[in-house]
């Protein structure tokens, strides 16, 4: 049994208003099906507006799909009984793209990470604090950061706090919605490494939603390509992405910025300067 199974999910956003009952809804996802095994990471690639984030929201239970079902360990996350739903909600956590808007600007790092703990684990104040310090250290921050407010952190540090919050209640599955896209290159690499480590340590599974092919390739086991609400390609092995002949995939591949020529030209320029 897969950890997450998405069955023929279709979703659209309507624009029904009080004075205008005519249905002018726009389809954003049609017939999406895939599954994620325990301990695996599926990278979902797609350009802006392809419906990637909507899919993430549906899996997180923030919006209900119009058709199709999403199963978590065999339970439909929308129709399961209340007890199971609560358990599922606990097991699926998320890290979003914009680290700044993912945290309430008026509360400290300690309270940010404490939120899921308060809701799911009934810990004493001392235990909770110890857990939070452990989590902070696990994601590469320190105890001194407990009382800091979000504006005192950099984007990369805040993303670490978001990750700490997501792993605080030991979920099984994390939706990473463009989680590294707003970070600079160095931080991207560091966060990806951290995510990889956590995956091993906690036995996590990821859905890695991104438009960054390189980031997806680094972290994923399998890859999917989403285009205009349709899952056009799904590969069991990420290397198939590079041999696929699908026109959209070819176009995506063509858009990967080549690193070497540029580096080479800089290097030659530097060497020319040093020679003269």
Partner 1 sequence: MIMSIPKIFRSQKVIPICSIILCILFIIAIFAPWIAPHDPIAVNLAYKLQPPSWAYPLGTDHLGRCNLSRILYGTRLSLGFAMLIFISSILIGLLVGTFSGYKGGIVDHVLMRFCDGVMAFPSLILILGLVGIFGPGLTQVIIALMLVQWVYYARMFRGMVLSLKEQNFIAAAKISGSSQWKIIKNHIVPNVLPPLVVMGTLEMGWAIMDISAMSFLGLGVQPPTPEWGAMIHEGKSYIRTNPELMLYPGLIIMLVIVTFNLLGEALSEQYGVKRRF
Positions touching partner 1 (CB under 8 A) are 17-18, 57, 60-62, 86, 89-90, 92-94, 96-98, 101-107, 115-116, 119-120, 162, 165
Task: Give least dist CB 111 to partner 1, A.
Answer: 9
d(CA 79, CA 234): 27
Alpha carbon 97 to chain centroid, angstroms: 8
Query: Tokens standing for 222?
Result: 């399998």
Q: How far is the CB of 59 from partner 1 (least distance, A)?
A: 11
Nearer to partner 1, 56 or 241 (CB): 56
| C-beta closer to partner 1: residue 36 or 252 | 36
Q: Which is nearer to partner 1, 32 or 174 (CB)?
A: 174
Map residue 234 onto helix, strand or coil: strand
Nearer to partner 1 (CB atom), residue 49 or residue 247: 49
Q: Quick one: angle between helices 155-167 and 109-120, nearest 10? A: 10
Do 42 and 102 touch, CB atoms closer than 8 A? no
> Closest approach of Cβ 94 to partner 1, in Å?
5
Q: Which is nearer to partner 1, 98 or 230 (CB)?
A: 98
CB of 101 to partner 1, least distance (A): 5
Q: At what angle do helices 155-167 and 125-138 cross, to 10 degrees?
A: 130
Q: Over the Cα atoms of the chain, what is R_g? A: 21
Least distance in angstroms from the C-beta of 64 to partner 1: 13
């Amino acid at each position: 049994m897969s950890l997450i199974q998405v069955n023929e999910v279709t979703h659209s956003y309507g624009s029904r208003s009080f004075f205008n009952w005519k249905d002018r809804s726009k389809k954003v996802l049609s017939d999406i099906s895939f599954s994620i095994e325990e301990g695996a990471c599926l990278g979902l690639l797609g350009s802006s507006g392809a419906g990637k984030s909507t899919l993430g929201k549906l899996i997180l239970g923030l919006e209900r799909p119009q058709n199709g079902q999403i199963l978590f360990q065999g339970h439909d996350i929308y129709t399961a009984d209340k007890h199971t739903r609560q358990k599922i909600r606990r097991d699926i956590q998320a890290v979003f793209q914009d680290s700044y808007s993912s945290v309430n600007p008026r509360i400290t790092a300690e309270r940010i990470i404490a939120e899921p703990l308060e809701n799911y684990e009934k810990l004493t104040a001392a235990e909770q604090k110890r857990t939070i310090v452990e989590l902070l250290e696990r994601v590469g921050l320190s105890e001194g950061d407990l009382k800091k407010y979000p504006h005192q952190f950099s984007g990369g540090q805040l993303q670490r706090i978001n990750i700490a919050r997501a792993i605080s209640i030991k979920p099984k599955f994390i939706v990473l919605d463009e989680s590294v896209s707003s970070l600079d290159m160095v931080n991207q690499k560091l966060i990806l490494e951290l995510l990889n480590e956590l995956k091993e340590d906690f036995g996590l599974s990821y859905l890695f939603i991104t438009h960054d092919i390189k980031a997806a390739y680094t972290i994923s086991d399998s890859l999917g390509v989403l285009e205009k609400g349709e899952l056009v390609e799904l590969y069991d092995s990420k290397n198939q992405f590079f041999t696929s002949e699908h026109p959209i995939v070819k176009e995506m591949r063509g858009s990967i910025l080549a690193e070497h020529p540029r580096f080479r030209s800089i290097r030659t320029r530097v060497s020319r300067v040093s020679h003269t």
